[in-house]
Amino acid sequence: DAKTTQPTSMDCAEGRAANLPCNHSTISGNEYVYWYRQIHSQGPQYIIHGLKNNETNEMASLIITEDRKSSTLILPHATLRDTAVYYCIVRVATNAGKSTFGDGTTLTVKP
Amino acid sequence: DTGVSQNPRHKITKRGQNVTFRCDPISEHNRLYWYRQTLGQGPEFLTYFQNEAQLEKSRLLSDRFSAERPKGSFSTLEIQRTEQGDSAMYLCASSSITTQYNEQFFGPGTRLTVL
């Protein structure tokens, strides 16, 4: 699985968009980008995934650059409950095995 | 709640004791994973089952660790002769073979403290 690089921490004002970047410059053609988040003392929660097209669901949007070497998770209207550690993972979708987590980005949403 | 459940949520034990954790995956999920997470770090993969078969094990899974999934439903993770370095959150996740993108759904974890 490709290695990812994320900033250690970010702050965001409540109600504003939170944009969380992830670099995955060694991504392979068949590897997807997955995002999870982990609220304090809970298990990670799946957010969204994508291959090369931008994706949107009820939780977030995922923007993947054309060369697929980086991506951005967007929380359009951050709330205090979005304060969490956000993990970007790159893996082959059909690979049933492990997900390799880095240390993620700690997002703090401030009132 | 039909999510992944783990028991117990917290376990405090003395060094040298054995502990066992249980994971109940989402009912239709046939893939089950165990991860370990220490403070300030992301989850680290330990092992993975498809149905009752254990298909992958990490080097982190020393011979003191054993995981089973006897009937392809719930799973147990046992740690023998616990050490203080085993103190961590143990996370279980499940996924479905019918899901094209193999999203993994995590339980709340079991926090182990070894004194």
Cβ(A106)–Cβ(A9) below 8 Å = yes
Verify whether the Cβ–Cβ distance A95 to B102 is below 8 Å. Answer: yes
Verify whether the Cβ–Cβ distance B45 to A100 is below 8 Å. Answer: yes
How many angstroms separate the CA of residue B100 from the nearest CA in chain A?
7
Verify whether the Cβ–Cβ distance A46 to B42 is below 8 Å. Answer: no
- The Cα A69–Cα A34 span in angstroms is 14
Picking from B44, B103, B108, the nearest residue to A49 by CB comes out as B103
pLDDT in tens, A60-100: 999 999 999 999 999 999 999 999 999 999 988 766 667 88
Q: Is A34 on the interface with B (CB under 8 A)?
A: yes
How many angstroms separate the CA of residue B47 from the nearest CA in chain A?
8
Residue A68's region, left for phi above 0, alpha for psi from -120 to 50, else beta, is left
> What's at A10, amino acid-wise?
M
- The CA angle B62-B67-B70, to the nearest 5 degrees, is 155
Judge whether residue A2 has pLDDT over 80.
no
Q: Is A96 on the interface with B (CB under 8 A)?
A: yes
Where residue B2 falls among pLDDT bands split at 50, 70, 90? confident
Q: Between B55 and A2, where is the model more confident? A: B55
- The Cα A61–Cα B104 span in angstroms is 19
Residue A87, pLDDT score: 96
- The CA angle A49-A62-B34, to the nearest 5 degrees, is 35
Q: Can you tell me the mean pLDDT for B11-39?
A: 95
Q: Mark A9-39 as b/e (b = at least 16 C-beta within 10 Å).
A: ebebeeeeebebebbbeebeeebbbbbbbbe
Q: Can you tell me the mean pLDDT for A22-46?
A: 92
- The Cα B21–Cα B19 span in angstroms is 7
Percent of chain B's residues with pLDDT above 90: 74
Q: SS3 of A55, please?
A: strand
Residue A80, pLDDT score: 96
Residue of A nearest to B90 (CA): A43
Q: Can you tell me the mean pLDDT for A54-62?
A: 95
Q: Between B2 and A78, where is the model more confident? A: A78
Tally of CA atoms within 13 A in the half-sphere of B29 that contains its CB:
27
Judge whether residue A14 has pLDDT over 70.
yes
Q: Between A1 and B84, where is the model more confident? A: B84
Judge whether residue B4 has pLDDT over 90.
yes
Q: Is A35 on the interface with B (CB under 8 A)?
A: no
Q: Is A8 on the interface with B (CB under 8 A)?
A: no
Q: Between B112 and A31, where is the model more confident? A: B112
Residue A93, pLDDT score: 72
Q: Look at residues A67, A108, A91 and name the one whose alpha carbon lies nearest to residue A1.
A: A91
Verify whether the Cβ–Cβ distance B106 to A44 is below 8 Å. Answer: yes
Q: SS3 of B111, please?
A: strand
Residue B91, pLDDT score: 97
Judge whether residue A1 has pLDDT over 80.
no
How many angstroms separate the CA of residue B102 from the nearest CA in chain A?
6
Q: How many CB atoms lie within 10 A of CB B28?
A: 11
pLDDT in tens, B44-70: 999 999 999 999 898 888 899 999 999
- The Cα B69–Cα B76 span in angstroms is 7
Q: Is A9 on the interface with B (CB under 8 A)?
A: no
Cβ(B4)–Cβ(A43) below 8 Å = yes
